[in-house]
Amino acid sequence: MFKKVLVANRGEIAIRVMRACKELDVSTVAVYSEADKEALFTKYADEAYFIGPSPSSKSYLNIDKILDVAEKSGAEGIHPGYGFLSENAEFARECKKRGIVFIGPSSKTIEQMGSKIEAKTLMIKAGVPVIPGDDRAVEDADTAMDIADSIGYPVMLKASAGGGGIGMKIVYSRDEVADTLSSVRAVAESTFGDSTVFIEKYLEEPRHIEIQILADSYGNTVYVSDRECSIQRRHQKLMEEAPSPIMTPELRKRMGEAAIKVAKTIGYESAGTVEFLYSKGDFYFLEVNTRLQVEHSITEMVTGIDLAKEQLHIACGRELPFKQEDIKINGCSIECRINAEDPLNDFAPSPGKILRYRSPGGPGVRVDSGVHMGYVISPFYDSMVAKLSVWGRTRDEAIARMKRALFEYVITGVTTNIPFHEVVLDNDAFIKGELTTHFIDDHNILADVVSMVEHDSAKKGTLATALYGDDKNNDKKIAAISAAVGSYVQTCKKQYSEK
């Protein structure tokens, strides 16, 4: 096992990896930017090094600075977490050049899966089902129209180098193709530095289902569990659960074996996720996330497997300690991404200082977070406050437990998406497991969030009390806050109705 590991990330994922290291008696090294100099993860690590200004391009994406710290601190391995450099093939290559272990797959594997066109081509050759489409790079609008006509509308225009739902747009008719192609290309170039676009069939009523895999350097590969990730906003996941409500032993076996075929095709080693779209009884390869996923915690809760530890063991050359038949799924787990963003204002980020913070607890509740009272949510990075995960013996129990945990969560000073999660959990279609990637729009979830906040006067009182305490002399202040909340809701309601 490593003696020392550098975690090239921040926030809750940095702490998550450091916790795994601590249990394995591995020393940890943190790197931090100006915005994170007082962050919790820098205090948790055994050593912490400043690497630059707040913008990630000058700190967390600076390969040379991070590798210099690794060499200076004597770190033998680097765990990239997720985001930032986690799927950067150049970073993986540079680690190898300097004799530092990149705790993840090889640079070649990352490169292959970094291009959606190359990934799709490889999967077709391997016999893995893919979404019908054309894997050629689209050169001009006329070609795009011809391809879309041949596939049949609706189609999806996708940036080849894209990820996280960026650079993807649906086209419903020939008239929309030219403008959409121009838009997607512009986004792809500005975000990924690669304007390559391809076209595939847009699936109706799709579900987004992931298969977690683990693969060692001895040729052993297992699928650990499936996850349902269909609750999304602009292709960004907001809530996940394991296992998927539609999963059967037969379907899990088929999808799991397909995921293993994907992994073996690209020579995968480490923890990773093979993503599929499921529609009307069939599933199709979407992409491979060559890293630890945000939502890995719910897989850990239903299987008892510590995925971060397994990553470390695999990177050190250890063989997987279990076989496929040893992996069992127990109960159900749900994760809500608690973000500092406003669901009533198109999920706009809400950076600022957390004035009060109390996280939930009790049986079956897990909170992965890097914040605390007085912590400032920075505008420079992702707005995540915490990952709230719960486990239940059944899906119904997990839903009830999550509702209870959300009720206990106290966060003031920034707007959060907690009301959004509460509305989803109360939705009849969600309770029945009837999910698609269009769930939010199909069920008018945001309108329901407006109604809930508008009519829940008790929450207005709770907010006022949180800000001003229980002093009865603060009635005027409480009334003022309640009026302000009411005014805010009316403004958001108007914005929503105009969209």
The answer to whether 341 and 379 have CB atoms below 8 angstroms apart is no
Helices (runs of H) and strands (runs of E) counted in the chain:
18, 23
DSSP 434: -
The answer to whether 197 and 137 have CB atoms below 8 angstroms apart is yes
Per-residue pLDDT, 493: 47
Q: How many other C-beta atoms are found inside a 10 Å radius of the C-beta of residue 457? A: 11
What residues are labeled active site? 291
Per-residue pLDDT, 148: 95
The answer to whether 366 and 390 have CB atoms below 8 angstroms apart is yes
4-7 and 77-79 strand pairing: parallel
Interior angle at CA 40, CA 37 and CA 46, nearest 5: 85
Length of the chain in terms of residues written: 499
Please state, in angstroms and rounded to a whole number, the distance separating the CA atoms of residues 218 and 103.
16
DSSP 264: H
4-103 is classed CATH 3.40.50.20: yes
The answer to whether 161 and 137 have CB atoms below 8 angstroms apart is no
Per-residue pLDDT in tens (0 to 9) along the chain, 499 residues: 999 999 999 999 999 999 999 999 999 999 999 999 999 999 999 999 999 999 999 999 999 999 999 999 999 999 999 999 999 999 999 999 999 999 999 999 999 998 888 898 899 999 999 988 887 899 899 999 999 999 999 999 999 887 667 889 999 999 999 999 999 999 999 888 899 999 999 888 999 999 999 999 999 999 999 999 999 988 889 999 999 999 999 999 999 999 999 999 999 999 999 999 999 899 999 999 999 999 999 999 999 999 999 999 999 999 999 999 999 999 999 999 999 999 888 899 999 999 999 999 999 999 999 999 999 999 999 999 999 999 999 999 999 999 999 999 999 999 999 999 999 999 999 999 999 999 999 999 999 998 887 766 455 555 445 544 555 445 554 454 455 455 555 545 444 444 4
- Prior bond to 154 cis, omega within 30? yes
φ/ψ of 54, rounded to 5, equals: -60, -40
Q: How many other C-beta atoms are found inside a 10 Å radius of the C-beta of residue 426? A: 13
Q: What is the DSSP string of 75-103?
A: -SEEE--SSTTTT-HHHHHHHHHTT-EES
DSSP 326: G
φ/ψ of 274, rounded to 5, equals: -100, 120
- Around 381, how many Cα atoms within 13 Å sit in the side-chain half-sphere? 26
Please state, in angstroms and rounded to a whole number, the distance separating the CA atoms of residues 23 and 18.
9
The answer to whether 369 and 387 have CB atoms below 8 angstroms apart is yes
The answer to whether 231 and 424 have CB atoms below 8 angstroms apart is yes
Interior angle at CA 191, CA 186 and CA 183, nearest 5: 20
4-7 and 27-33 strand pairing: parallel
The answer to whether 239 and 335 have CB atoms below 8 angstroms apart is yes
Architecture of domain 132-201: 2-Layer Sandwich (3.30)
Q: How many other C-beta atoms are found inside a 10 Å radius of the C-beta of residue 203? A: 19
Q: What is the largest CA-CA distance in the chain?
A: 73
Six token digits for residue 365:
């509740």
Interior angle at CA 333, CA 397 and CA 221, nearest 5: 145
Q: Which amino acid is at 171?
A: V
Please state, in angstroms and rounded to a whole number, the distance separating the CA atoms of residues 19 and 22.
5
Please state, in angstroms and rounded to a whole number, the distance separating the CA atoms of residues 101 and 262.
24
Q: Which amino acid is at 33?
A: S
Cα 165 to the center of its chain, rounded Å: 11
Q: Where are the domains of the chain?
A: 4-103, 132-201, 207-441, 445-498
DSSP helix/strand/coil, 435? coil
Q: Which amino acid is at 334?
A: I
Between the alpha carbon of residue 259 and those of residues 109, 322, 334, 430, 471, the distances in Å are 15, 18, 22, 26, 59
The answer to whether 123 and 131 have CB atoms below 8 angstroms apart is no
The CATH number that domain 207-441 falls under is: 3.30.470.20
DSSP helix/strand/coil, 184? helix
Please state, in angstroms and rounded to a whole number, the distance separating the CA atoms of residues 431 and 294.
23
Per-residue pLDDT, 457: 47
